[in-house]
Amino acid sequence: MARSSVELPVGPLGIRLFIGYRAPAFTVQPGDDEVTRNKKRTDFFNELGGAFMPGTPVMQAPLGLGAYVPAVLDTEPGSGLPDEVAAIVYASRAIYDRFRETSLSRRIYTRSHVAVFDMARSVAQFPQPLSSPTVVHVNGSAHHFTFLAPDAQVDWQAGSVRVVFLTTASPGAAFQADMLQRLGASAAAAAAAGIDQVLMLSGDGFAALWFHSETSVADSPQRLDLVPAGATVMRNFEAVHIPVTGDSSPGVPVIDAMAITFRFERKLDLFIPPQ
């Protein structure tokens, strides 16, 4: 039976996780005064909310995008922390790969990142299970991409999504190893709390996690014991639902840190034949 256009549970191997740093045009420099710093912050937010973020489902839904959950972190300039993270959920990895090089829209979308992000520092990757997480090195720093429940089929447009961003006073490989161990040990607590999937990416000094559940679980990182000693929960968002109905959709007003679950129609005929 064909699924409805508002129901699309998918597995974790089709989810691309992104770590984004502002493009040079929006990056605060040591000599910038407060007016300039504020303008660069506002310009970055406007570019994200006015075009890039709502444009993602408009351009990618026809190519198999199932959900899109970005978070604007509004970190302190010069801290070395990312400015945005995102979960880009495709119907499957195979569908993503089908259009990676053959679609003009996909190529345009990929290249549009440079208008907003410093792609020499930013990175996106598909996660792998905790037993062998994806590891990507950027500027000498290792980044891990993984998930909790390998068999979970989750509709990331439905239910509640919480995005949590942790920082640590002790950056390095030990912090990342601790986060991986804690995530692996959290399965029973996650099930008890009604959390059906956790996605995680981590760098030397930070970790971002996406929690999916049917109802909101505000204390997700504490309940699952995912906050190591010396770490701080810097951001803990319940993602707000924002509709995108097509090319005429308005932008998203971004004035502060926030997470968004975009609501849009999925193109199910890509992987479920019409009946």
Structural domains present in the chain: 12-267 (3.30.70.100)
Q: Which long-range contacts (CB under 8 A, 24 or more apart) does 247-251 make?
A: 247/58, 249/54, 249/58, 250/54, 251/49, 251/50, 251/51, 251/54
Query: Is 272 a residue whose pLDDT tops 80?
Result: no
Residue 269 pLDDT exceeds 90: no
> What token pair was written down for 79?
């801290």
Say if residues 259 and 70 touch (Cβ distance below 8 Å): yes
Q: What mean pLDDT comes out for the span 109-132?
A: 95
Here the tokens at position 84 are 């945005």
pLDDT given at position 246: 87
Which residues, listed in sequence order, are joined to residue 212 by a DSSP beta bridge? Answer: 161, 197
pLDDT 10s digits, 62-95 = 999 999 999 999 999 989 999 999 999 999 999 9
Q: Look at residue 186 in the predicted model and tell me its pLDDT.
A: 97
Predicted confidence at residue 3, as pLDDT, reads 38
Integer Cα distance of 238 and 257 in angstroms: 11
Q: What pLDDT does residue 7 have? A: 80
pLDDT value for 2: 36
Q: What is d(CA 154, CA 265) in angstroms, rounded to the nearest whole number? A: 16
pLDDT of residue 100 exceeding 90, the answer is no
Q: What percent of the chain has pLDDT over 70?
A: 96
Sign of dihedral through CA atoms 215, 161, 44, 66? negative
pLDDT at 155: 96
Q: Answer yes or no: pTM beyond 0.85.
A: yes
Task: Choose the weakest-confidence range: 47-56, 73-82, 100-109, 166-175.
Answer: 100-109
Sign (positive or negative) of CA dihedral 63, 136, 226, 258: negative
191 falls in which pLDDT band (50, 70, 90)? Answer: very high
139 compared with 121, residue with greater pLDDT: 121
**Residue-wise over 148-164: b if at least 16 C-beta within 10 A, else e?**
bbeebebbbbbebbbbb
Tokens at residue 55, please? 């444009």
Rounded (10°) angle between helices 53-60 and 104-112: 170
